[in-house]
Amino acid sequence: MKTTSVLSTVFALVVCFSAGAQENGKPSDVPAAPPAGEATSATAEANASVAARLPLDDQSDFEDASRGFIAAIEADAITDADGNTVWSIPQFDFIAGEAPDTVNPSLWRQSMLAAKHGLFEVTDGIWQVRGYDLSVMTVIEGETGWIIVDPLTVKETAAAALKLVNDTLGERPVSAVLYTHSHADHFGGARGVISEEEMEARGVPVIAPEGFTENAVAENLLAGNLMQRRAVLMFGNTIPRSETANVGTGLGPGLPQGTTGLVLPSEEVGGWGTERVIDGVRFEFMDAGGTEAPAEFMFYLPDFKALSTSEVASGTFHNVLTPRGAKVRNALAWSRVIDRALSDYGGEAELVFASHHWPSWGGENVRTYLQNQRDVYRYVHDQTLRRANAGATMTEAAEGLPEPEFSKQDFSTRGYYGTLTHNAKAVYQYYYGWWSGVPANYHKRPHAETAPRYVEAMGGLEAVLRRGAAAYEGGDYRWAAELFNHAVFAAPESQPAKDWLAAAYEQMGFQAESGAWRSYYLTAAAELRDGLPETGAPNLGNADFLAAVPTLDLFDALASRYNPDKLSREPFSLVFDFTDTGETVHVAVGRDVVVPRLSGAGAGEAAAKLTLSRADFNRLILREAGVPQLIGSGALTIEGEAAAAGAFLGALDQPDFWFPVVTP
């Protein structure tokens, strides 16, 4: 009771923290936040220092990124079936010439390279389509057709890429599809190049790494809502493409706004050096699972002397823990896999290409590329552990970590996507968890509770804003952001507090070398200034994707939405009998958990049995059809207690997508 009383008193103090408030009857002397979109002198100086210490004029990457150009899509946009823009072709045309003060010049250089778009010849028999999606689609000439590697994020960009290939090189059927790993930007566009009907009719293999299906579903369905909400900030989907906003992700130009689907693989390949002949082309696969993705492979094409490093090694230092959220990755295993590829294929390969960015040619360049990619993950791993084992906390281990010497020359190891400090914290988390070891941090109160106390202790909202403004004027934007963040969480209705926090985030974004960091900061600033956009959300649930999700996995995802407080009856069980797949699922609805099982073994007596097709169940989940509609059409029959089915479905939360992230 005492705690509640104290918290009530503290929160009562927040009432006076409104925009234009006065303290002690005196007019507010907090300066107004600076206008949006302008780099401060501190930011301009910071960016100029980056330009002075890096060899930004090195043209080798520009030569590689332009090499082999054949043709580009001539339309202004890639559109969907309804004419909506999925990808604007000229959206990054403004990235040219010298970097403005509002963009880190190293990121500007990377974005300029990533914006180069079109069909490029990698070597005789291998091409890439780049610049129309976050990822790259590779096309290999087989004996009878095109072998497609990584069919992009959405079916519209994949179809446009394949059309560019066919229009330019001559039309051929797709003879195989390869997914290098379990992230959606490498399989989501599969229906733009192949359908299940074509697979079956022509025997087209779809090949993926071992564990692909399980991990593709887990990452994109079970954890999808929060992950995709944070991805909006990370990829800058809702802010303009401009010198003061989104200039690309660092990993690629950006995410298209189309339809992500999933065509399940016909084969999952594991092992190291596993050989397959696919449409007459020899492949040697290398299992790289547990590095950049839980399920991933690289491959070597001995007839081309070409090594594909998938996303294990690309033109950036990647994320050991992505800001959108995913399972933390093993930096040591990552380094070891690259080292093994270097050992086994580095002496033979004459070119290396990846699922992002542009290739590199020449045996010596291949070896240098692999060596430095190996070393950057090894460096962040070993140096973080060295510091942690000497007593450094997560923040301390990351904060003072110097840049390795090779990163000052090799742009492919710079933090255009992942960063040294973020990845050091990820290494710490991998071994020690999120806790710093300091007892006070183990069971901290939520920030929304502690922020008013911090603000009160510092003398009230205006005092905090004045201190933050002084830090901002001094160019200390990180400290300013920390102060303003307390102010926003203590007084979320205070627009001056939000404007100041947005100003601090904006300068941090303008200085960021990582495209992901820049987009996160600048999108956060936009949400603070303008509120939640409520438009531009990714297509989280769609029939194309859901149709490929294994039934038990789908029910596990539903179970993760179960809210026990919504169940107003005694526990019961249901049976779902799917007429088109022949599957039967027993669902035990308990007081605290929902447990689904296939086949209904040991199910006991069910309160109700629902008979329908899996396709209609998908429609029900997507809210494209309701229970009364399906019953009325005869698509759904319920034997037993119909109210039990309603009780189960009614107890499932439907999470909002546009929940606040940068405010309470």
pLDDT at 20 over 50: no
Averaged pLDDT for residues 530-548:
75
Averaged pLDDT for residues 109-126:
98
Domain definitions of the chain by residue range:
54-431, 550-650
Angstrom distance (rounded) from CA 381 to CA 214 = 27
pLDDT at 602 over 90: no
Res 527: pLDDT: 97
For residues 86 and 78, is the Cβ–Cβ distance under 8 A?
yes
Question: pLDDT band for position 164 (50/70/90)?
Answer: very high
CATH of domain 550-650: 3.30.1050.10
The contacts of residue 237 (CB under 8 Å, 6+ apart) are 231, 254, 255, 257, 523, 536, 538
Q: Are strands 174-178 and 206-209 parallel, antiparallel or unpaired?
A: parallel
Averaged pLDDT for residues 477-497:
98
Judged by average pLDDT, the poorest of 136-150, 290-304, 434-448 is 434-448
Q: Which of 64, 190, 178, 60 is nearest to 120 (CA)?
A: 64
127 DSSP β-pair partners: 121, 139
Mean pLDDT over the full length of the chain = 92
pLDDT at 204 over 80: yes
Averaged pLDDT for residues 543-567:
89
pLDDT at 2 over 60: no
Question: pLDDT band for position 215 (50/70/90)?
Answer: confident
Percent of the chain scored above 70 by pLDDT? Answer: 94
Averaged pLDDT for residues 607-624:
94
Res 536: pLDDT: 63
Res 221: pLDDT: 72
Judged by average pLDDT, the poorest of 25-39, 132-146, 387-401 is 25-39
Question: pLDDT band for position 344 (50/70/90)?
Answer: very high
Angstrom distance (rounded) from CA 662 to CA 526 = 10
Angstrom distance (rounded) from CA 367 to CA 357 = 18
pLDDT at 25 over 70: no
638 vs 604, higher pLDDT: 638
Averaged pLDDT for residues 178-188:
96
Question: pLDDT band for position 657 (50/70/90)?
Answer: confident
pLDDT at 57 over 70: yes
pLDDT at 405 over 90: yes
pLDDT at 21 over 90: no
pLDDT at 45 over 90: yes
Helices and strands (H and E) in the chain: how many: 22, 21
CATH 3.30.560.10 fits 54-431, yes or no: no
Res 614: pLDDT: 96
Angstrom distance (rounded) from CA 544 to CA 259 = 8
Res 541: pLDDT: 63
Judged by average pLDDT, the poorest of 52-56, 181-185, 301-305, 603-607 is 603-607
Res 600: pLDDT: 56
Res 543: pLDDT: 77
For residues 152 and 192, is the Cβ–Cβ distance under 8 A?
yes
230, 579, 588, 654 from 566: Cα distances, Å: 27, 30, 16, 12
Burial label for 652, CB within 10 Å (0-12, 13-18, 19+), is middle
Res 537: pLDDT: 61
The contacts of residue 572 (CB under 8 Å, 6+ apart) are 589, 606, 607, 641, 644, 647
Res 18: pLDDT: 37
Q: Which of 395, 153, 149, 434 is nearest to 279 (CA)?
A: 149
HEC string of 313-382 equals: CCCCCCCCCCCCCCCCCCHHHHHHHHHHHHHHHCCCCCEEECCCCCCEECHHHHHHHHHHHHHHHHHHHH
Res 16: pLDDT: 35
Q: Are strands 267-269 and 206-209 parallel, antiparallel or unpaired?
A: parallel
Res 540: pLDDT: 53
Averaged pLDDT for residues 37-58:
97
Averaged pLDDT for residues 271-290:
98
Angstrom distance (rounded) from CA 227 to CA 221 = 10
Res 539: pLDDT: 58
Res 14: pLDDT: 34
Res 534: pLDDT: 75
pLDDT at 371 over 90: yes
